[in-house]
Amino acid sequence: MHVGPSIGNYDVLSAAVQPNIGFASPEFNSAMKSSLEGLRYITGAADSYTPFILPGSGTVAMESVMSFIPRNSRILVVSNGVFGDRWEAIMSRYPVAIKVLKAEAGKSVSLEDIDHEVSSRRYFAVAMTQVETSTGVKLDVESVAKTVRNKVDLIIVDGVASIGGENMQAARWGIDVVLTASQKALGAQAGAGLLVASRSAIEKLREESISGYFADLRNWSDLMNKFLAGGGGYFATPPIGTVFSIQKSMALIRSETIEARIKRHEICSQAFRAGISHMGLEILASEKLRSNTVTGVIVDGIDIPDFLQRCMKKGVEFGAGVHPAFRDRYFRVGHMGWVKPEHIITALNVIESSLEEIGKEVGHGSALAAEEVFSKHH
Ligand code: PMP
């Protein structure tokens, strides 16, 4: 139950192993087509959006958005933590001007601050993060998009820790670019960055490029359209196994439906938090900002790495804290991908017993508190 790669599914992970199938095969072309179409489905992108699957990871997808941005543009970054700050780290390598609005750990930049900023200066783009993996904070991207839509040319959302587990309606909310990665709430093999781009974003590819070579979407957009039309081609070798894994994940998402999948994430996250509250532990994200996919749990007075090792020995892996303001005081739990009630129950039992071992009293019965949440939804 790390924050990514997330909880596995044997069929999805093993779909990556295919003997003697290369990137020029009809099987691969078909896997790309259904994965690209699936990507539109889970992001609420209309057919006018171009979907991309790139070799690499979420960071490659983030960096590829520089393809849409003209030289000397001004960009507003809404950062709720470490991954919001990654936008600044990437964009500062390019000839653009960046302004970053930062939130305290566990909180979110306010709509008022965003509105004030886009109303007082002309920004070309706004970049944000739907679920901030360092804290588990969910940004209300629908409201942010509504606030900035008529004032900027391009709205970009990092959905690496959210797509497949949180609602995203790119077309309806007017978001130009939504990106994600294969190993998080899609629960597929690591190895790909994925994004959808609106027609208006794609039109910006006609302008001079400031992006490098590999992640310049000018090199990839015709190829993606060829896959969508049933054909194929080459720009750089794709992550073949990962694409087969994504294809299987998308097929399972379609049969579950994205709405039911998001609901499953919501219920599992609520049940997990009920168990944590039963232990008397604090959750890093403020109450109204908690996500379906990631929870940061604060435990003062213990050695967190030692605690995580003890959990690992019992067969459950969690993530260490990474936000500098809270680094040694919390750990992170990913409840995404193929998460089921039994994962939540096991995680709570393992947390409870590992804390007991090191003399941190949290009582018993947290799994029952989670069970109560599950039983309400049966
Ligand atoms: N954005 C968010 C919100 C993330 O959680 C991560 C990965 N933890 C990234 C970007 C970077 O993705 P990757 O590690 O796949 O490059």
**The pLDDT of residue 320 is above 90:** yes
The CA distance from 91 to 63, in Å, is 8
In CATH terms, the fold of domain 258-376 is Aspartate Aminotransferase, domain 1 (3.90.1150)
Q: In testing the pocket of ligand 1, which one of 83, 156, 332 has its CB within 8 Å of the most ligand atoms?
A: 83
Taking the centre of ligand 1 as the mean of its atom positions, its distance from the CA of residue 58, in whole angstroms, is: 5
* Structural domain 11-256, CATH architecture: 3-Layer(aba) Sandwich (3.40)
* Average pLDDT, rounded, for the chain: 97
The residues spanned by each domain of the chain are 11-256, 258-376
pLDDT digits (tens, 9 = 90+) for 167-222: 999 999 999 999 999 999 999 999 999 999 999 999 999 999 999 999 999 999 99
Per-residue confidence at 22, pLDDT binned at 50, 70, 90?
Answer: very high
pLDDT digits (tens, 9 = 90+) for 94-142: 999 999 999 999 999 999 999 999 999 999 999 999 999 999 999 999 9
59 lines ligand 1 (CB under 6 A): yes
The CA distance from 91 to 268, in Å, is 35
pLDDT digits (tens, 9 = 90+) for 247-288: 999 999 999 999 999 999 999 999 999 999 999 999 999 999
244 lines ligand 1 (CB under 6 A): no
Instruction: Using DSSP bridges, classify how beta strands 154-158 and 177-181 pair: parallel, antiparallel or unpaired.
Output: parallel
Contact 193, 215 (CB under 8 A): no
Assembly ipTM: 0.99
Give percent above pLDDT 90 in the chain.
Answer: 98
**Conformational region of residue 280, where left means phi above 0, alpha means psi within -120 to 50, and beta covers everything else:** left
pLDDT the model gives residue 266: 98
205 closest CA partner among 177, 237, 171, 227 = 177
Going by the DSSP 8-state scheme, the letter that residue 22 receives in this structure is -
pLDDT the model gives residue 378: 81
| Token couple for 335 | 């409840």
pTM above 0.90, yes or no: yes
